[in-house]
Amino acid sequence: MASRKTKTLIFALVFFVAMLGLGLASVKSANYKDVSALKMYAEPTRNLEVKGSPALFQPGHYVIKIGDTVLEFAVRSPSPYAVAKRVSGPPLSNNDNEYAVFMLKSSSGDYKVLAIFSAKTFVKFYGPNAVMDISNVVVSGTYRPDLRAHIYVYSGRGLVDTTPGGVPVFIVSRILEGCHQSYGQPSGRIA
């Protein structure tokens, strides 16, 4: 009788481990919408979850203009994100003066949005030296197609618009995948 209980226990344990593995795999590979799916929204829309790959900011001094709000940041080496300070205009969310900014592009590369996230919240979750996955980032928040961001970089001849026509804005409330603290913690979800 002991061997039957042992076999049943082993089977239950193996079944549990297999189901746990499948559950974790399905959560990690959830079918999030690509950034390009945002094109179908003509009005500001809340509670969206999208994935995209961050474009690298190249070394330089940048100015972002979103409506009447102006942000500035500098990048010393290629980076998927930067912390920008608000230098004029109204806050973009939560009366913040600093934002983590990153450009998310679609899987085909033909559609981009400027994602902005409260720098306080970003640092709280990921620390001051966060690491962002450059292949895939999943964010949740509010899509603002009514706001167009123009990103300028200083050159020898003054400011050059790197986004002619501007790009829409995505105000991030959470980063679900693709960002983690710099001490080697694997990227994961925030619930």
Taking only the tens place, the pLDDT of each residue in 94-119 is 789 999 999 999 999 899 999 999 99
Is residue 75 within 8 A of residue 83, CB to CB? The reply is: no
Digit-coded pLDDT (tens) for 170-183: 999 999 998 877 55
Q: pTM of whole model > 0.75?
A: yes
Averaged pLDDT for residues 51-70: 95
Q: How confident is the model at residue 30 (pLDDT cuts 50, 70, 90)?
A: low
Q: How confident is the model at residue 12 (pLDDT cuts 50, 70, 90)?
A: low
Q: What angle do CA 137, 142, 146 make, to 5 degrees?
A: 115
Both tokens assigned to 143: 């899509």
**CA-to-CA distance for 10 and 108, rounded, in angstroms?**
47
Query: What phi and psi values does residue 163 have, to the nearest 5 degrees?
Result: -130, 65
- Characterize 84-117 residue by residue with b for buried, 16 or more Cβ atoms within 10 angstroms of its Cβ, and e for exposed: bebeeeeebbeebebbbbbbbbbeeeebbbbbbb
